[in-house]
Structure 1
Amino acid sequence: MNMQQSPEAAAEALISRATLPGLIIDKGDLPAAVRAVADMLAKTGKVYNQGGFLVRIYNEPGEAVRAVPVTQHGVTMWTHELCRPVSLDDKGHEKPVTFPERAAKMLVDTAGNLVPALDGIATGPLLADDGTIRSQEGYDPATRLYCARAPRVSVPERPSRLDAEAALLKLRAVFETFPYADSQRITACDLDVVDLTQPPGEAESAFLAALLTAICRPSLTLAPGTIITAPEISGAGSGKGLLIQAITMIAYGQTPPAFTAGTEKGELEKRIASELLQSGPAFFLDNVNGTALKSDTLASVITERPARVRVFGETRMAELNSTAWIAITGNGLSISEDLARRFLAVELDPKCDDPEARDFPEGRDGFLANIKARRAELLSAALTIWRWGRQNEMQRGKPLGSFETWASWVRDPLITLGCCDPVEAIAKAKARDPFRLRVSELFEAWWQEHRTAPIKIAELHDSVRAIADPQGRGRQYVATFIGKLSGTRAAGFVLTRQEASGKWGSASYQLRKIST
């Protein structure tokens, strides 16, 4: 390939360069040049500060809108596209120079004070508490979101209950072929489908809440994530990933790239942070099979704004104000410890040996193509339910800490329309948590052997010790494990710790029954 420019092209490039504004590089005052370049970058409408990191928005036709970190070399390249860095000689004449590496590093390291802050990317309408729906293109300072590609929606100004019921039925009909674990089924056109004459069951209700959550997520400060699970042995091909793709196609007009947990210890947390730093509207962790998922990063990001995460390959921490809808799928997947209250759980069960053989009338590719073609229609249906909920008194469900606004925007309208409360299912998810099961078993054995007597670690009965330390790792392990359980409530008990009375004494523990 001939990389040489024609004389005409070379001349045109020189003329183009000559029209760019000059940027004087004073080695004695590099911060001045850095501020000038930052101002130019900000005016492009494509460069932002995300948690202290410089990122560039990519919004190319046919590709997902995303934020990509800007490197020092990227700063240098872009600077030369926007201006002509020059130095002045002793006579004041301009001399072309390369934008200094130190200045590029300074800009990358100090982005937080020089360009607008970015919390996320919205590719759907922005919503307000009074039921207002608005579309925006470009950066929205009020929400700190970069907005693009929001479709035109048609939502009644004051939807009636009949409007909301019709909208719910429309959404249910689109997804009626999915094997919700507890749904009542009928056969229609030789297909096994949900009986739409019956109210949604727990799994379908959780799915509908997940769909509305994804749509509202950019406009909510906090919202729970979603897990979609299926049986460990016969769950492959049940449609978990397809549901995620369909939800994101309606909510965002694009499907997120899936990523997996990896195999190395600690790798998952790095991957989670890396994905969230891209500011995409959705986060999709796929194929977390046969495990109890635990993640301090997810626990923090879902319930805290800002949340601090460590950036892979760097010692710096990033502050994330993430607006991403978080979705996880897996066969035989459960959620461990405190993640349970942070996720809606959608359970699929094809109840057959070969779920992959199940199909849609138009095939799986045709199903997604249909969702894409009907995006504005289906988004309008979901927003009809949402606006109806904002304008009328709703039935209130079970409280869920940290997610009060989400509950009134998403959960309460759905349960008013006859859906199950997905928050009530969280208690069931907690009951399946392996750690909680182990602690419950431990407390029950403790009560059987010791009742309310204050007990030191060395005095624990062998049956209690065996549950605390099934691998026989020793007294120190048991002491550490029991020590971390101080204040824990499980199985109707609470464990308390009494400190040692003297310098050489040992702490003791007491189990008490609590009212449930």
Structure 2
Amino acid sequence: MRAVPGNLEVVSDVRAPALLPGEVCRPVLDIEGNGDLARVCDDAEHLLLKVGAAIYQRGGVLVRIVREAADQPGLKRDVSAPRIVPFDDLSLCDVITRHIEVRKRNRKTQDLVCVDCPRVVAQTILARKEWRFRYLEALVEHPVVLEDGRVLWESGYHAESGILLDIEPFTFQSPYDDPDKDYAQEHLARLCELLGGFAFVDKLDLSVALAFLLTPFVRPLLQTAPAFAFDAHAAGSGKSTLVRTGAVMSTGREPAFLTYGDDPVELEKLLFAALLAGDQQIAMDNVIGSVRGAVLAVILTSAIYRGRVLGQSATATVPTKAVISMNGNNLQIVGDLTRRTLVCRIDPECERPAEREFAFDPVEEVRSMRSEYVLHALTIMQAYIASGDCVQLRPFGSFEAWSRLVREPLVWLGLPDPVDSIRVLEAADPEREQLRAMLTSVESVFERREFKATEAIHASQARRQAELGGGPVPSDDQREALAEALQAVCERNGELNSKALGRWLLGMQGRIEGGMRFVRIREARGGAMWRIERKV
């Protein structure tokens, strides 16, 4: 196992003319006249490739790297963060003119004269959607551990993976060749010392925090990775500090902070904007209330995500190569996100946690000793891969590759399985609590008998039940438990709504909780027939 700087392409800067060795001028592109557009565009693309212009294709659009980050409402970045930006026709004209001497034949004199790149040339190249430019999967500012244990650690474009490493010379130490388990234990101890000031509830939370520190160094290669949630009971407990520590360790700067709100459309726009820009760390800071959302769930379990480019009519399909985290006080992770999120709990057990004193600031520690801490993370994963061991753990659906490279090394070194933290989220998931209460209360009344949504509501209402004079007759305790469960899922304007209950049952059908599930049996007059089924 070894570091692999040798197969990286050096990429030119798009802001300055790029000359080939021995050339004293830019390559020439001649435009003869009307009817020559297709040939001109072909030649322009060929010459841009020849001079090594930093143009990439990503998700069906051509993109470039800019060095000044731009904030937008709800998304705040470090001003020095590199950003992936789609080309428009004017910016592509600028790059072509910088790298290529464009000449156009004068109709009167028939001489070839230097001109700026015609806008129609750039527009045509952008509209083609079929290019020979390099694919860009991810832009990173740190080394990357490959699946075979080799490490990319010098700046350049790695053609095999599509990763562009943007690393200043001499930033990082050369990784070890074939580190063993003893080496890994030593480097793990250093990372544990870094996190020593955080009041984790137990060792499982430390394991989740360590997984958060390791994940960025393999995330560019992974199709998917779980999210990380940092939860505490009070402000000042260190949640944001832990997120910032991980971001500064991997990128050298603060994460892209995203404002989480209740509007799913706005959340989708912000997440897509961050993914399109290639943000490596996306942090939802100081979340209030519950975290839910189909878009976030899809992003966490999909290799790509499609959305509309802000300010343009174009759409793009971008890789989801980001480490996504969230933090808040008494976080509630709801629904499908519970199986996609690892939670780290912090509890200082004091009245004013923000007033505590610490031996050192972990953010400044990793900022000043970044190379050493990155080496600690790399060594842990390298050593596990080199060992050839295979830790047997329960499956973690959608995140198998992440488990192999991050989860297994931590368990191999004696830490709790970070995926066990999902059980904490599941136990506190309000959707699961509602489903559990509904299954229990409905079963107590109907047992294995079929029922309609209206019949379940009637069974919870003593007066209505007496009027109907049929169906199961629940006890007062059963009726109260059923009414309470129904109020949580289908109360509208102070009354239980059968249509809302029907929609809720459709959304929950087949989902097992406590060994039971709702099963839709058949359609009948007045609504679907349902039954509770027990699963062993």
Fold match (TM-score > 0.5): yes
Match of 1:172 among 155, 170, 192: 192
Gap runs ≥5 in structure 2: 1-23, 70-78, 461-482
CA contact (8 A) 1:25 1:85 kept: no
2:317 to 305, 316, 319: 319
Q: CA separation in 1, counterparts of 2:30 and 2:342?
A: 53
Structure 2-normalised TM-score?
Answer: 0.81
Q: Distance in 2 between matches of 1:360 and 1:131?
A: 36
In the alignment, does 2:238 pair up with 1:239? yes
Shift, 1:25, TM fit: 6.6
CA deviation profile, 1:266-293 (whole Å, cap 9, x unmatched): 211110100010113222222212x221
What corresponds to 2:12 in structure 1?
none
Quick check: 1:229–1:331 contact (8 Å CA) kept in 2? yes
Instruction: Tell me how far 1:202 sits from its aligned partner.
Output: 1.2
Q: Distance in 2 between matches of 1:479 and 1:382?
A: 50
Cα pair 2:138 2:220 within 8 Å, conserved: yes
Give the Cα–Cα distance (whole angstroms) in 1 for the partners of residues 99 and 177 of structure 2.
45
Which of 508, 511, 515 is equivalent to 2:532?
Answer: 511
Note if contact 1:261-1:268 (Cα within 8 Å) is conserved in structure 2. Answer: yes
Match of 1:131 among 124, 141, 149: 149
The reply on whether 1:105 has 2:103 as its aligned counterpart is no
Structure 2 residue 215 is the aligned partner of structure 1 residue 219: no
Contact 1:442 1:467 in 2 (8 A): no
Which secondary structure does the structure 2 equivalent of 1:177 belong to? coil
The worse-fitting range, judged by mean Cα deviation, of 111-120 and 486-495 is 111-120
Contact map agreement 1:165 1:417 (CA 8 A) in 2: yes
Task: Determine the C-alpha separation between the residues in 2 that align with 1:265 and 1:298.
Answer: 9
Q: 1:316 to 1:499 in 2, by over 3 A?
A: farther
Matched, 1:66 2:83: yes
Q: Distance in 1 between matches of 2:448 and 2:382?
A: 53
Task: Give the residue type in structure 1 aligned to 2:431.
Answer: F
Match of 1:163 among 161, 183, 204: 183
Q: List per-residue Cα deviations over 1:97-123 (Å, max 9, x = no partner).
A: 554444333333445534221111122
2:104 paired with 1:87: yes
Q: Which residue of 1 aligns with 2:491?
A: 470
Contact kept, 8 Å, 1:180 with 1:348, in 2: the verdict is: yes
| Cross-structure match for 1:369 | 364
Alignment: residue pair count? 472
Q: Does 1:153 align with 2:153?
A: no
Matched, 1:332 2:348: no
Q: What does residue 3 of structure 2 align with?
A: none
- SS of the aligned residue for 1:55 comes to strand
2:380 aligns with 385
CA RMSD of aligned residues (A): 2.7
Q: Does structure 1 retain, via aligned residues, the 8 Å contact 2:68–2:81?
A: yes
> Are 2:514 and 1:497 equivalent residues in the alignment?
no
CA distance in 2, matches of 1:244, 1:316: 33
Q: Does 1:486 align with 2:509?
A: yes
- Compared with structure 1, are the counterparts of its residues 322 and 136 closer, same or farther at alpha carbon in structure 2 (3 Å cutoff)? farther
Call closer, same or farther: CA 1:327–1:265 in 2, change over 3 Å.
closer
Q: Contact between 1:244 and 1:327, CA under 8 Å: does it hold in 2? A: yes
Please state how far the C-alpha of 1:207 moved relative to its aligned partner. Answer: 0.3
**Aligned equivalent of 2:40, options 26, 33, 48:** 33
How many Å apart are 1:41 and its aligned residue? 4.4
Quickly say closer, same or farther: Cα 1:161–1:22, change in 2 above 3 A.
closer
Q: Give the structure 1 partner of residue 410 of structure 2.
A: 414
Q: Give SS of 1:500's match.
A: strand
Distance of 1:23 and 1:331 partners within structure 2: 63
Distance in 1 between residues matched to 2:124 and 2:357, nearest whole Å: 55
The CA distance in 2 between the partners of 1:390 and 1:248, in whole Å, is 24
> Of 188, 201, 205, which residue of structure 1 is paired with 2:207?
205
Amino acid across the alignment from 2:62:
L
In 2, the alpha carbon distance for the partners of 1:258 and 1:415 equals: 30
Q: CA deviation at 1:338?
A: 1.1
> What's 2:340 paired with?
342
